[in-house]
Amino acid sequence: MLVHVPGPWSPFLGRLALKQIPYQNPILVGTFLLMATFGVALIAAMSYRRAWGYLWREWITTVDHKRIGVMYCAVGLLMFLRGFIDAVMMRTQQMMAVGPKSPGFLGALHGYLPPYHFGQIYSAHGTIMILFAITPILVGLMNIVVPLQVGARDMAYPYLNAISFWLTAAAVALVMVSLFVGDFSHAGWVGLIPLTELAYSPGVGVDYWIWAVQIGSIGTTLASINIIVTIIKMRAPGMRWTRLPIFCWTALSTSVVGLSSFPVLTAALALLSLDRYVGTHFFTGGLGGNLMLYTDLFWIWGHPEVYYVVLPAFGIMSEIIPTFSEKPLFGYITMAAASVAIAGISWSVWLHHFFTMGAGPGVNAFFSVASMLVGIPTGVKVFNWAFTLYKGRIRFDVPMLWALAALALLLIGGAYGHDAGHAVY
């Protein structure tokens, strides 16, 4: 197979050259000018208020779990904004890209985005929303809340906590830089094989995607270790397992999922990197590789990741509903057990993402049953929340309204056959 590698390549700058700057794209140039203007204004304001020293001492170099949690949430919200803009661009493209026999919207027959650019926006949107928006926000909430709930002064490993955050921030920076230098992957947020192979994506877009996801995955893995050790070893005297707040149970279950699943993604992307950079053929089907190997490895991570983001949300609901019902949470023991059970079952359902790949009826039957089994502990949670609401003095404040809306989404999603994680997600 003939593989084209764009050149020139240097050991210092790699493939970075002036042609990697997409100055010919008016959308990206306008976005760059807007962000550059905002950045200059922010730097000027910080300099005018002489806030650089405070920023360095209190935030950039901090190891305080609360400040790190706030920065996690800030990064996640920033990327939510970026992901939202990508979503608006995609929907606008779909609105304008009508059929060839239609007059078109504003005279545009095929939209305003070239297909390659649309593929990048599509890939960036999925990667951002899953890995760099909701995940940092939930990790940030766990950073803030878990030590306070268990009675610890800080996380078990404060410096490791800071490293975890800055690895995530570096991954986010790579995604943002890809807007203006080079391009981003056009192979979807899952990194579809063989589109991510060098022969089909010789540019730097897939490289950006690999390194951003790799670095972010390592940061999330380290954060999971920290939360697990904090809950197990840093509990205050008298904080027995049966007195542990439910949010801590969900944070513990989430972190076990993160610790055991993100390394699988790291391994899959390491093999893909070897295919691209060294010339191996782990995933190149025509040269002894196995396309389904990557698909299996990715979704072995990808489906537990669904529960990585939904279990903390369940924990939040389990704190809000009793508070605004003015009643203790119904079924504490079963609620904690359900959290652990969901985390365990999440490892046995990944193949339902590709039932049509010819795995065979026996394998499909196993994963179908496993996908239905996850509804049992989720149903336990739903009934416990319902019994907590029953005869409670319910206050319909904003947190309670959000919790009830999430409960409704969970029920609707389950009724239509979707598993618990996707329903709320």
Q: What is the pLDDT of residue 158?
A: 95
108: left (phi over 0), alpha (psi -120 to 50) or beta: beta
Degrees to nearest 5, angle at CA 63 with 60 and 67 = 70
Longest Cα separation, the chain? 73
What's residue 28's pLDDT?
76
Question: For the chain, how many helices (H) and strands (E)?
Answer: 14, 0
Contacts of 345 (CB under 8 A, 6+ apart): 370, 373, 374, 377
Q: Which long-range contacts (CB under 8 A, 24 or more apart) does 381-387 make?
A: 381/314, 381/318, 381/335, 381/338, 381/339, 382/407, 382/410, 382/411, 383/331, 384/329, 384/330, 384/331, 384/334, 384/335, 384/338, 385/317, 385/318, 385/321, 385/330, 387/330, 387/331
Task: For the chain, give every domain's residue range.
Answer: 62-97+111-289, 310-425
Report whether CATH 2.130.10.10 matches the domain 62-97+111-289.
no
- Within 10 Å of residue 216's Cβ, how many Cβ atoms? 25
Q: Can you give the pLDDT at residue 106?
A: 45
pTM of the model: 0.88
At 194 the pLDDT is 86
What does the pLDDT read at residue 262? 94
Digitized pLDDT (tens) for each residue of the chain, 425 residues in all: 344 445 556 665 566 666 667 777 777 777 788 888 988 999 999 898 888 998 998 999 999 999 999 999 999 999 999 999 999 999 988 888 765 555 544 444 567 888 888 889 999 999 999 999 999 999 999 999 999 999 999 999 999 999 999 999 999 999 998 888 888 999 999 998 889 988 888 888 899 999 999 999 999 999 999 999 999 999 999 999 999 999 999 999 999 999 999 999 999 999 999 998 888 889 887 778 888 889 899 999 998 998 999 999 999 999 999 999 999 999 999 999 999 999 999 888 888 888 777 778 888 889 889 888 888 999 999 999 999 999 999 999 999 999 999 999 888 877 665 555 554 44
Contacts 24+ apart (CB under 8 A), 105-108: none
The amino acid occupying position 140 is G
8 preceded by cis ω (within 30°)? yes
Tell me if 156 sits within 8 A of 232, measured CB to CB. Answer: no
Confidence at residue 417, expressed as pLDDT on a 0 to 100 scale: 59
Q: Which distant-in-sequence residues (6+ apart) come within 8 Å of 69 by Cβ?
A: 139, 140, 141, 142, 143, 144, 145
